[in-house]
Amino acid sequence: MSSRWKIALWIAGGAALAIVAALVIVSVMISRRARVWVQDSLTHEFNSKVELSSFSIAVPFPLVQGEGENLALHFQGREDLPPLIVVKRFIMRTSIWGLIRASHHISYVQLEGLEINVPPREVRGDGGGANGAMRKIRAVRFDDILSENATLRILTSKPGKDPLEFHIEHLRLNSNGSEGALVFRATLTNPMPPGEIVSTGIFGPWNADSPSETPVSGDYTFEKADLGVFPGIAGILSSKGDYQGVLGKIAVDGTTDTPDFRVTLANHPVDLYTTFHATVDGTDGDTYLQHVEAHFGHTDLQAQGSVERAKGTHGKTITLDVSASRARVEDLLLLAVKASPPMTGPVRLKTKFILKPGPQQIPDRIYLDGSFTLDSLHFTSSSVQQKVDNMSKRSEGKPGEVVNPADAISEDDVATAMKSDFRVQNGTLTLSGLNFVIPGAAVQLAGDYGLEAQTLDLYGKLIMQAKLSQTTTGVKSFLLRFADPIFSKGGKGTVLPITITGPVQHPHYGLDLRHKAESARQNSN
């Protein structure tokens, strides 16, 4: 072998030995400094006191693998709050170059027993506000962060309110988003109503001073949510939409579809579809509905309001202002009455809606206070509709056109106009100022309707265009002439005190001999 080749081999061997020596030195330095680096990085990134019971590192060149147990980050070092992050065990892998470069690069992180407790919005650090905190975060890039069966809790400082908690079955994050932000895909279980949520989006950059101000955005799908866990309603709901904001205040736009929604008291399924724009307070899960459009049958409802948990209560109270300019009364009655709806026609509606939480059925928990107007009402029962038609003929002084209910009904049913103020409370519908108008007559009523028993107890007066004697024929007409002065008003027409009682499907009409209307007026005065 020539001397030239010998020199080259000695140089190559020396270089190799130098490289090996350098790698050994680097490995020793990494092993010694790894725990300090991990703790210092986490302290800086999350503005937290770091606890780490054990940490070890191996350097199978050219990779670096670290394992740790019982990691806890206490936000701002506060012991009065649950740790911001808890990890029972973690594994991280990277290359030597990825670890020592100025912008750290971690290839893989696996988390076991992950718990995230986001402090209340009121808890803030002293790092110069949200923007300052986010600028301080060093650039650490991750290819993959994986976690199974994690728990996310968003804490609240509001007395009497429990934290909002989610079980995240599967979570995957990476640094493919903008600097400091993580792209994520999460599968989680919604607590109430139970169902599976799959969401993808962008999380961060992390706000080290005020975690509740950390940005988040993305889209979601919510499947197989069983509404039967809420007393009084049933159905399987699905929803999808998108959201953006910060953890403490998230704006959501979405839709829901419940093809078999029903109020269990009536048990008539309807296909309920809604679109909504809402703001979710991430600190307690309270939801503020800026606009909701609900559609079922031939009915559209509009609403706005809130879904909030009151102090000292379990569950949440739904408070809405509801209106409808395009609706059908038969659609609304499908949600309220056990039998087939007794009437049909277009309805205009406006009401305050409050549904309190509790184990009782909906009629015992619901509160309504509003008014409705029906311009062209028809009764679905042929016998009831025929009675209304006959009353119209008699009130116009046309008793000869009255049809026997046992005979065929005329093709032109009389349309009824109706309007009233109403209130629903403690399972009872109370009507006041109910005006019921048909050709030749007007009925003014007040009283109650029992939602569970579905019975009527109404009283008021019937005002007819014809005199009493003009409503019939023959001997009855002759005899009733003596009563005309008693029941006429100003010598014209007829005013009769009446009651309507009994089951809604077969009501009983009679004279108000007890003068309930007059007694009610006196009691109110």
Chain Cα centroid distance, residue 427: 23
CB 215, CB 182: distance < 8 Å: no
Which tokens is 369 given? 């206070």
Give residue-wise pLDDT tens across range 405-444: 666 555 556 778 889 999 988 888 898 888 888 888 888 9
- CA–CA gap between residue 184 and residue 201 (Å, rounded): 6
Residue 218's pLDDT band (boundaries 50, 70, 90)?
Answer: very high
Give residue-wise pLDDT tens across range 151-174: 888 777 666 666 777 788 898 988
Report the pLDDT value the prediction gives residue 488, as an integer from 0 to 100: 84
Residue 17's pLDDT band (boundaries 50, 70, 90)?
Answer: very low
Out of 29-33, 273-277, 281-285, the most confident range is: 273-277
Smallest Cα–Cα separation from 109: which of 173, 38, 34?
173
Residue 29 has pLDDT above 60, yes or no: no
- CA–CA gap between residue 432 and residue 371 (Å, rounded): 9
Percent of the chain with pLDDT over 90: 15
Smallest Cα–Cα separation from 431: which of 440, 423, 439?
423
Lowest model confidence (mean pLDDT) among 40-54, 324-338, 478-492: 40-54
Report the pLDDT value the prediction gives residue 295, as an integer from 0 to 100: 94
519 vs 433 pLDDT, higher one: 433
Residue 241 has pLDDT above 80, yes or no: yes
Q: What is the dihedral of CA 58, 137, 139, 248, to 10 degrees?
A: 100
CA angle 287, 292, 298 (to 5 degrees): 145
Report the pLDDT value the prediction gives residue 411, as an integer from 0 to 100: 53
Mean pLDDT of the chain: 78
- CA–CA gap between residue 68 and residue 54 (Å, rounded): 5
Give residue-wise pLDDT tens across range 357-372: 877 777 788 888 999 9
Residue 351's pLDDT band (boundaries 50, 70, 90)?
Answer: very high
CB 309, CB 161: distance < 8 Å: yes
Report the pLDDT value the prediction gives residue 159, as an integer from 0 to 100: 63
Percent of the chain with pLDDT over 70: 78
